[in-house]
A = this chain, B = another copy of it.
Amino acid sequence: MNILAIDTAGRSAAVAVLQGDALLYESFCNTGFTHSETLLPMVDAALAACGLKIADIGLFGVTAGPGSFTGLRIGLAAVKGLAFAGNTPCAGVSTLAALAYGHTGQGTVVAALDARRGQVYWAGFELATHARLTPDAAEPVEALADFITNCKKPLFFVGDGAALCYNTFMLADGLLPCPPALRGGRGAGVGLAALACYQAGLATPPAALLPSYHRLSQAERERAEREAAPAAAATPPKTVLKERIV
């Protein structure tokens, strides 16, 4: 079975084609261009390199979150479009699980994405089996301290939140460095996570693919804050007034 795997959850874009658990083609791009510019040319190049057409794909894998809301929508919408004609099975996988599936060894891997404001989206996985140790969470980076103290060592961090984690927890007590060039989300990891999802019977038709945002958008968060503080809402600051006028 040919798998086309896509990741646009963060700043980088990644694409891979797998035949079962073997990697035919992979590309990764972290150059500051937007996914709307890079993704479809990358998919095109991947299929051309493998001599495949969309109709030859038996499973689409895509990172469904957590991640950038815009990035997730681009990846999911692209896969929905590509899979629609053949109603091909799709596996929406955790962006954090896909990061973990890109590595192997013994111990623990913590996948962390920079969620801004000192927070990370994070989860811990057993490195050898990629078994999940914690649910995907959005928390201040300091909240990882308990897990890091108690999990099986050695441990290393991957993802674009790895630098924040290393700066917070340093390299004490069984924490290993991970070279920056190896921290990014590989297409192969998305493909392997999608294959595991499919084998567990959890693939869906494209119409059922949904993002897992894991927290409210900035607009929703600000509205909730306004509504939870009626006194403040009575004398709203200028920016809020302006939003209402627009």
| Residue positions of A touching B, CB distance < 8 A | 16, 18, 21-31, 33, 38, 45, 49-51, 101-107, 127-128, 154, 156, 176-182, 184, 188, 191-192
A156 and B31 within 8 A (CB): no
In this complex, the member of A25, A101, A103, A181 whose beta carbon has the largest number of chain B beta carbons within 10 angstroms is A181
B49 and A31 within 8 A (CB): yes
B27 and A27 within 8 A (CB): yes
**Complex-state Cα separation, A105 to B158, whole angstroms:** 11
A-B contact pairs, 30 of them (CB 8 A): A21-B179, A21-B180, A22-B30, A23-B28, A23-B184, A25-B27, A25-B30, A25-B31, A26-B27, A27-B28, A29-B49, A31-B49, A31-B50, A31-B51, A38-B49, A103-B105, A104-B105, A104-B156, A104-B177, A104-B178, A105-B156, A106-B106, A128-B176, A128-B177, A179-B192, A181-B188, A181-B191, A181-B192, A182-B188, A182-B192
Q: List chain B residues, Cβ under 8 A from A106.
A: 105-107, 154, 176
Shortest A109–chain B CB gap in Å is: 9
Top 6 A-B pairs, shortest CB-CB distance: A105-B105, A23-B181, A26-B28, A106-B154, A27-B27, A181-B188
**Complex-state Cα separation, A158 to B181, whole angstroms:** 18
Q: Which of B22, B127, B177 has a CB less than 8 Å from the CB of A181? A: B22
Given contact pairs A154-B105, A154-B106, A29 touches B25 in the complex (Cβ within 8 A): yes
Q: List chain B residues, Cβ under 8 A from A26.
A: 26-28
Chain B minimum-CB-distance residue to A38 = B49
Shortest A5–chain B CB gap in Å is: 10
Q: Which of B30, B128, B188 has a CB less than 8 Å from the CB of A23? A: B30
Q: Which of B31, B51, B182 has a CB less than 8 Å from the CB of A102? A: B182
Q: List chain B residues, Cβ under 8 A from A192.
A: 179, 181-182
Q: List chain B residues, Cβ under 8 A from A105.
A: 103-107, 127, 154, 156, 176
